[in-house]
Structure formats: C-alpha cells, structure tokens
Structure 1
Amino acid sequence: MTTDTLSPPPLLDADALIADMGARARAAAKHMATAPTAKKAAALKAGAQQLRAQAAEILTANAQDMAAGEASGLTSAMLDRLRLDETRLGAIADAVDAVAALPDPVGAEIDRVERPNGLVLSRVRVPLGVVGIIYESRPNVTADAAALGLMSGNAVILRGGSEAVHSNRAIHAALAAGLAEAGLPADAVQLVPTQDRAAVGALLRAQGLVDIIVPRGGKGLVARVQDEARVPVLAHLDGICHTYIDGAADPGIAVALAVNAKMRRTGICGATETILIDRAYPGPAAIVDALTAAGCEVRGDRDIAALAAHVTPADASDWDSEYLDAIVSIAMVDGLDGALAHIDAHSSRHTDAIVTEDAAAADRFLTEVDSAIVMHNASTQFADGGEFGLGAEIGIATGRLHARGPVALEGLTTYKWQVRGTGQVRP
C-alpha cells in the first residue's frame, strides 16, 4: 500500500512568465499605437465606471491589505498611502475620467520645417511601446499608470508591491472590464500575477519585449532597478523636498505653507521634509510652534533646538532623510546663498520651494535650484500630476533625460521624424 504525499509547488519560471507577458504586450502595443482617440477614451471611461461599480469589492480587497499591513508593522505613513475609502476610490475613478478627456498626444506634431531643397520635415509624437512599471504601496498607481499608458497608445506591464496585492488585483480587474467593453485588447494592461521577486528581475532583463522601465518607490527599489536593468529606466527617486523661508517672507504665508507642505499628507513624495529658515526671518519660533501644534516632530539644528525644549537635535542623517511621516528637520541658514548651498548638497532634485515677497530672490531661486519642480510661495504638496492639469501621473521623474517632473501622457511618448518630398534626390 502506498501513501500519497504532497509534492512541493513548482518553482516559478520567471523568465518564461515575463516573456509570455511581454510578447502579448508587444502585440497589444501595436494595436494601441493606432487605436482611435475616441476608442481609447471610451475604454478609460468604461474603466472608471467599473471602478465605481466594483467599489465594494475593491474596498474589501483593500481592507485585506490594510489588515496585513497593520499585522506586519507598516508605519502610519505607509498605511496612509495604502488606505482606500469611498472618497479616495472616487478620486481614482475621477482621475481615470480626467485622462480620458485629455488631448491625445499620439500623432501630435511637435514642429515642422521646410528645407531649402523643398523637403518638409516634421516631428510627431509616437508611443514608447511596452512600458514596465514597478511600484510600491500605492494602489492608485495601478489605475493612474494604466490610464496614462492606454491614452498614450502604449501597453503596460504593472508590478505592484506586496503590501497592496489584493487592492491592485481588484483595480486591475475593473480596468480590464473597461477594456473589454470598449473592444481593446486586454493585454494592453497586464498585472504581474506573482509577488515573487524573481519576476522583477525578469522584467528588468526583458530587452526587446519591454521598451522602458519606470520604478516608483523607495531608494531600495530604485537602486535595484538601476543596478539590474537591461532596459532603459525612467527613474523616480525619493522626495527630499525643501521649503526655504526667506527673510522677506510674509509671516502668515510662511506659517501656513510650512504646515501644509509638511502635514497635509506626510506619506507622499511631495511632502516637505526639510525647512530652511533665513536668520533674517523674524519669526522662526512661530513656525516651530505651528508644526508642533499640528502633531509634527521637529528635529532642528543648534539654533532651532534653542527655540523650544521639545525640539529634538538633528543629526547628519536628518538632512538626507525622506521621513514620509510627521517628522521634519529644520535648519537656520545664512540667507538665500545658505539655502541654495544646503539644497544643492541634500536635495533629491524632486521639489523645492521658496517663501518670499522679494521677487529678485524668488527669480534667483527658481533659476538656480536644479530640481524637477521649483516653486515660489506655494506648498510642495502641489507636486502632483493632477494639480498640474495632467489628469494623473505615474510619478515625478527626477533625472534630466527624456521626461522630468510629473510624468503623464507626453512623458510616455517619444517622437519620430516624418519627411515629405516631391521626388528629391541627394546630389
């Protein structure tokens, strides 16, 4: 007599999985590149409606992720990024609708010139092709990335973090239903079906199948992608954002912006992490007190620590920390030059702001700070594709190549030259 034994599950063949997904995405991308604007918009509107119709299922899935996150000890900021409710889910659906209403970038003429020999040269926008997007925590990225990828004529392969696995699957199911309703290929938006890290490695090695990788997450994720990728990478690094309070700042505006930039939502990449205060500014204590009253832990240099007993002395690591929490580091600086030097040494080139009524100082700050987004008298929390009128974003690109700042429809296109002649031959 024999005894049945359970055999171990088969090992994941990550390369085969991604090769299959990539081949299907490549076929879908060819279809999407020529899909009419109205059809793409219809798919997004149907997807948005499915997000609303399947709200109960999506919120139930999110509750599973929240429970798992709490059990595993996720920080309050990470849980905030993960959490969905009716309002947030409604905003996700609204963002998909907003992308559907945006001008289609595919086929748009960037510029045109006629050469002396009569040749007419134009540059027109075309999709990137197959876009791989690797992200952490935020289930809204599933919808935003899918919507932007579709409207820009691409196919996308999504690989979300394990924290949001159930939420991502539920959102993807709603968007897939919208694609089917509009008669577009379901393979235009695929979600990697496993959380095995080997699938990430296979995606990073998928030359010829994937045209670009967009990582959106913490330093560890981005570092791995940049180290291992054999596919071009559009990096979205951490948000070590600064707000500089100039000596000529209006005190009422300065306090309001400092609190909003840090505390409106502490877990987003546009949250200010370091506040710099000009020694000439008359009310630094009021800024510290307002942040403390709002529930923020203040870590300050020697001058700031001297203002209040509850200020924790900052150490060197604080100036390079993305807290994503109700913590802020504050330093006193010697005017605009001191602020520029500190930002140059510690900024992640994401978003930096100046608060001042001095137009010359503002112009110099906006010119000299080398970040993707620079602001004057505005909260860094506005560093968001929706707030920029882009409908949504897949992240804030902090590099210099291809796209910078909020990456939306145009950031997911490239261009080709079209040359029109009348029989010219080259002498």
Structure 2
Amino acid sequence: MSAAGASMSAASASRIGVVARNTPGATMMRARSRCAASASTRAARSQRLGGKDKKGRVDVTKSTRARSAPGEGSGATAEASSSTDGDAAAPGTSSAGSSSHATRTRAIKNGEFFIPSMPPAQMEEQFLTGTNAERAHWFPVAFAAGLDETTMIPFDLFNVPWVMFRDADGNAGCIKDECAHRACPLSLGKLVNGKAQCPYHGWEYTTGGECVKMPSIKKMLPGVYVDAAPVVERDGFLYLWAGKWEPGIEDEVLAKTPRRSLAPPQGFTPMAEVTVDIPMEAEEVLSRLMAPGGRTSRTATVSFDVVDAKRISDSVFPKIVANVLRGLRKPVPRTATFLPACVLDSTVGLEDGPGDWNVHQMHVVLPARPGRCRLLFRLSVDFVAVPEIARAIGGEVWANLAQMVLKEQLEGVRASGVDDVERYQEWKVSVSGDFD
C-alpha cells in the first residue's frame, strides 16, 4: 500500500461513532483512541519508506506537497521546517495535492447555498469504493439541525474520511478529515472562527480546504490544501457531491441536485432524527429495509452505534413510554419509493384505533467503508396536535421510539406488500459499470 493509502486507511480504521464537539473532554477522549493509531501507522510507514537515521530513529522528515493557487508560479515542492518538533509533512500524504492542478473551481453563491472555490480533488482511485457512476450523485450525509457553529460531523463515504462544519457566516462545508501535515484527523480538533483546527500542531483549514494558519512552521507555506467537496443544504439535510468536482463542470453538477424534496409530506411533522453506524454493507441494509417479498421469521440481530451530538440518556422511563406507544397500534405499509442513490421514502399507516394515523419514514443509507454503512432515519407523524411541545417534553421518547422502529425494520418479521425493489435493482444495474 502507498503512503497515501496508509494515511487514509489509518484515519478511517480508527474512527469512532460520535459527532465531534468543541469541548476539551470529548476531544481528549477521541484523541487517545485515534491519534495513537495514527502515530503507530506513521512509524510503520516510515520504516517501509525511509529506514532509520544515524541515531537509530525512524526518519519521517519529508517535504510538504503544496498546491499552487493561480498566479503563484509552478508550486514546486517546498520544505516545511517545523519549529515545534523538527518534522515536516508526512511523506506522500494524500491530503496535500500536487502542483499539477493549479486551477480552482469557481465560487458559487446564490440565495440557497454557498460553495467556496477549491482545487480539483486528489483522491487516489484505488482506495475508493463504488464505481464512478455510483459516486456521481448528491448524497444527504447529515441532518442540518445537528450542525451548529461549534460542531464538526465526521463521517466516511466510499472509504474516504470527511468532516463537515460551518464557516464564520454559517455556510456548511466539507473537507477531508486528514491534516496535510501529519494526517491527524481534523475532527479531533476544534473550530476557530469557522475554520477547522488540527489538534496536533494547530494548522487551520477553511471549508474550501485551504490551510490558512501554520503555527508550527517558521514560514507560512502558500497553496497548501486538503481535499474538499461541494455541499448543498436543503430539506433539513446536508448534501455532499461525491463525484468529480473540477473547473468547468460546476453547472453540470449543480444541475444534478435532487429535484424531489426530502422534506416530510404536507401535514407531517418530524419527531425524531437518528443517525446510526451499522457493521453491514449499505446494499444489505437497503435490502432489509425494503424486505422484498416480506420476511416470515426474524433475521440475525443487527447491532448499531447511535451517532448524535446530544446523546440519549440511559433513563428507563423514556424507553418504557416508547415501548407502550409502539404497541398501541398495528403498522401497515402504505407506500415505498426508492430514490437514487441511497434513499428509501415510505409511509406506514397505524391501524386498530380511532382516526387516520400515519407515519412517514425517510431512510438514507450511506456506503461508509467496506463492511460498514451509516444510516440516517427521520420519523414524522401526522397525528400530534402540537408537535413542538411534544418534541420539547418527550424528545427522548421519540428518539427511543425511532430506534425501536429501526431495529424492528432491520431484524423483525415483515409483512409482504409495499416495496420498491424493482426500481432499486434497475438503478444498481445502471451504475454497476463506469460510463464516464
């Protein structure tokens, strides 16, 4: 494996299922579990690449690869002399691009969203999962309500670690979750005036991926970037474009933003938004949710880790209330629609009671990395009189209810009936090969 691959794999393998918060305690806990793994991987990588110095220490000092912005010359590799530990950039770090791509995409700003200017991505194809056709979509990767000015949301998509945050003006952006200096996950750091600060040496990055502060370096290196991806915020989701993003195709990509709204239908109000990481392939999870032909017996237990900035407490009372609510009526599938590339939109009727009660469900299943996926689940209802008060008083009850429903959908007996398997299978065939 190349140095770039080792760097990306180390960051991906050591990720944990929590949303990064700007608090010292949370940062220290994540740093212990992830930076230790990154350090050992760097040492092993350096032994493969450079051997040892005269004192028997592993030699990891290499030059930083810097991207040149337009008008900054050829952008030849520059030596980075660290004033804190004598080390410069990690060899072959995939986060720092080469000088062969000097042209940036244009900044895009309208009444709906803002996408900063950024150089073309330097992703190495051999480490990506999925085909080009699969990745060439806008993916809803996070709930917008969960991203405030103090929060960073780390996630993996097609085997690439990303981190999402808001700039000083509140615009959401997304960059690769690896510092260009030592590949330390940026999500372990904090936000400083709308910039992601690496916890290792304090390098700071904009939502366009540009490094604008290097306190560990004697002389600021211009034109150093990490990969960035365009983000659009709508319908309560943050969408990320996972395909190619380079100068000249901006209008073509923006034209592919989803035309169908993912907002709840008229008359429905969101009561719970839950994000979980599941140790299963995204395709298998989607198959279980659609339950082609139904299931007559329970499947194997599906474990998942809840990913949420506001962790649900261990209080028994909300779970008891949620369980009672779950057993009041009989769920009957009404509609189910698959929306490329990873969304299942469905409606369930609640029968055996007075009135016409319905639940709207939105499942987003993201291919994170081999053997793992992330699932975003939003539960909306049309039978709560004052939903704002219901959420304020019983927020944990609804969150627990959503988790119970999700677990039952993944494991339990399913009645045959409404599904949209045919459309999903047609889409899978259409993206099974590369057509670029």
Give TM-score, length-normalised by structure 1.
0.28
State the structure with bigger RCO (CA 8 A, min sep 6), 1 or 2. 1
Of Structure 1 and Structure 2, the greater helix share is in: 1
Give TM-score, length-normalised by structure 2.
0.28
Larger Rg: 1
Of Structure 1 and Structure 2, the greater strand share is in: 2
